[in-house]
Amino acid sequence: RRVADRVVFMDRGEIVESGTPQRMFENPQTDRLKLFLSQILRGH
């Protein structure tokens, strides 16, 4: 979260969502990013 000013989330070679790390972690817009975050943040 503290490494980049902007990040992009890609699925199958397509940009699905982009924004600041804070916005993407705190307010993901797409179901695909929400699912991804729920899987990687499980237990944290």
pLDDT of residue 3: 82
| Measured distance CA(4)–CA(23) in Å, rounded | 12
pLDDT of residue 13: 97
Q: What is the DSSP string of 1-44?
A: --S-S-EEEEETTEEEEEE-HHHHHHS--SHHHHHHHHHHSTT-
Q: What is the pLDDT along the chain (44 residues), one digit of tens a residue?
A: 578 999 999 999 999 999 999 999 999 999 999 999 999 988 76
- Going from N- to C-terminal start, the domains of the chain cover 7-40
